[in-house]
Amino acid sequence: MPYPKQFLILVLFLGSFGECRSKHSTRERRWTGAVETQKHGTSLAKKPPDVTKSRRLKTEQLLKVDDHDFTMRPAFGGPAIPVGVDVQVESLDSISEVDMDFTITLYLRHYWKDERLSFTSTTNKSMTFDGRLVKKIWVPDVFFVHSKRSFIHDTTTENIMLRVFPDGHVLYSLRVTVTAACNMDFSRFPLDSQTCSLELESYAYTDEDLMLYWKSGDESLSIDEKISLSQFLIQKFHTTSRLAFYSSTGWYNRLYINFTLRRHIFFFLLQTYFPATLMVMLSWVSFWIDRRAVPARVSLGITTVLTMSTIITGVNASMPRVSYIKAVDIYLWVSFVFVFLSVLEYAAVNYLTTVQERRERKLRDRAVREQSLPCTCGMSHTRTMMLDGTYSEADTNSLAGYTEAPMVPEEVVSEKQEHMVVHLSVSSESTNTKKKGIRAFRIMQNTHAIDKYSRMIFPGAYIIFNIIYWSVYC
C-alpha cells in the first residue's frame, strides 16, 4: 500500500508544476506583446508592405529584360520596324551669320513597338521609367545630320523618359539642344529671309531595317508660342521627309524640320542706313560754303569720307567673308561714291578758280602796262585828249570840242589830279582786250555754276538711287 500512495503524490506534484509553468509562459507572452505594441504602435501582423520592393520585383518579372537579347532590333530579320517621330520646339536660341549655324532646344520623341517588352496588366496602364532602363533595351539610333554640337540635358538627372505599354508599344522622349549648320544666302542682306533645316536620320539602320516617319504628318511639329528672336521674325515651321543615299552604305530615311526666318530691318535702318544717309547729306553742305574757305570745305569732305569708311568696316566685321555683293554693300558704296564726288567737286572748283584768277591777273597787268605807255602815233590811229572835269557829256561825245594837244608831261598830271588822260584806240588791239575780258568773266560765272548745279544734281541723283534701291529689295 505505501507504493500506490507515493505514486499518487508524484502525479499530483507534476500536474501542479506544469500548470504553474503554463501560467508563467502566458504571462510572459502577454508582457512581450504589450512591449511591442508600445514600441511600434501596431502589431507586426498589421505592418504595411514595402510597395517599392514589391513593384521592383513585379516590374522585373513583367518586362523580362534579362530574358531577351536587346542588342538586336525588334523583329530582327523581318520587315523594317516603323519608328514614328514627333518634335516639340522649346526654344530657338540663336542665329549666327558669321558661323552660319543656329541653336535649337527641343523635345524629341520616338514611338515604336517591341513585343519583347509586352506584359499582362488588368488595368491596361503603362509603366514609366527614367534613363537607367534605356541602357538595357533597344532604342532607335537617331542622330542629327550636319550637327556641330549637341547634348542631352542632365540637370538634375538625364532628361530621358521611357514609357512602356502592356501591348509592347514604347514612347522614348529626351530633351536635347543642337547646334546645326545652315547655308545662308546674304545677297539681299539685311533685307533677306533665311530658310534653315534640322535633319534627323538613323545612323546604322537603312530603310530596309528601320522606317523613320513623322508620326502625325505636319502636326508632328509643335512650337512654343513664346519663341521670339531679336533679329528675326519666325514666319513658318513645317516638316518634310525624303530618302538619303550614301554610296557605301545605302538608302536611309531622313526627316526635315524646316523653318523660315525674316530679318527685322529696323535695327539696320538705325545703325547703318540712316547714318550713311546723313553723311551723304552732310557732304552737300560744302556746296553752300564759300569756295575761298579752303580749310572748311576740305575738312568737311575728309570727315564724311572717313565716317563712311568706318560704317562700311563695322558692317563687314559682323558678316562672313562671302565672295558676292550684299544689298547693304551696294547702298554703302554708292553713298561712299557720293561723298567722294563731293570732295572731287570742290577740287574742281578750287582748280578752276585758281586758273581764272591767274588769267585775271595777267589781263590786269597787261591793261596797266598799256595805260602807262604814252601814245606817239598819229591821229589817224589814236587821239589823245585832255578831259577836264567841268566838261559836259555833249562836249565829251563831240570831237569838235577836243583840241589836239601834244603829249602831256607827267609833271602836269601830278599837279592837276582833277584831270584824266584817256587814250581812245581804234586799233584791233583794243577789240582783242575786250574779248579777253568777256571770256574771263564767263570763266568766273562757270566756276560759280559748278556749286549751283551740284546743289541740284547731287540730291536729285541720290533720291533716284534710293527709289530704285528700295523698290528692288523691298
Give me the residue spans of the domains in the chain: 81-263, 267-360
What is the CA 263 to chain-centroid distance, rounded? 7
Single-letter amino acid, residue 386:
M
Residue ranges in the chain modelled with pLDDT below 50: 1, 23-24, 28, 30-45, 50-58, 378-430, 440-447
> Residue 290's pLDDT is what?
85
DSSP state, residue 289: S
- In this structure, the strands spanning 147-152 and 169-181 are antiparallel
C-alpha cell at 293: 574757305
Length of the chain: 474
Going through 158-292 in order, the beta strands assigned E by DSSP cover 160-164, 169-181, 193-202, 210-214, 221-223, 232-246, 250-263
How far CA 215 is from CA of 9, 172, 195, 399, in Å, comes to 95, 13, 23, 119
CATH code reported for the domain at 81-263: 2.70.170.10
Count of CB atoms situated within 10 Å of the CB of 253? 22
> Residue 278's pLDDT is what?
96
Count of CB atoms situated within 10 Å of the CB of 185? 13
CB 282 within 8 A of CB 304: yes
Q: CA end-to-end span of the chain, whole Å?
A: 139
Give φ, ψ of 15 to 5 degrees.
-65, -45
What is the CA 201 to chain-centroid distance, rounded? 29
Q: Tell me how many degrees the CA angle 306-311-313 measures, rounded to the nearest 5.
A: 95
Helix axes 327-372, 428-473, angle to 10 degrees: 170
Peptide bond into 71 cis (omega under 30): no
Cα(82)–Cα(113) distance, integer angstroms:
8
> Residue 309's pLDDT is what?
95
Convert 27-55 into a string of H (helix), E (strand) and C (coil).
Answer: HHHHHHHHHHHHHHCCCHHHCCCCHHHHH
Count of CB atoms situated within 10 Å of the CB of 85? 24
- φ/ψ bin of 436: left (φ > 0), alpha (ψ from -120 to 50), beta (otherwise): alpha
Cα(363)–Cα(357) distance, integer angstroms:
10
Domains 81-263 and 267-360 share a fold: no
Cα(66)–Cα(64) distance, integer angstroms:
6
Torsion sign (Cα): 291, 297, 298, 304: negative
Cα(425)–Cα(431) distance, integer angstroms:
9
Which residue is associated with the grid cell 529626351?
A: 174
Cα(455)–Cα(466) distance, integer angstroms:
18
CB 202 within 8 A of CB 140: yes
Superfamily of domain 267-360: Neurotransmitter-gated ion-channel transmembrane domain (1.20.58.390)
C-alpha cell at 306: 572717313
How many Å is the Cα radius of gyration of the chain? 54
DSSP state, residue 188: T
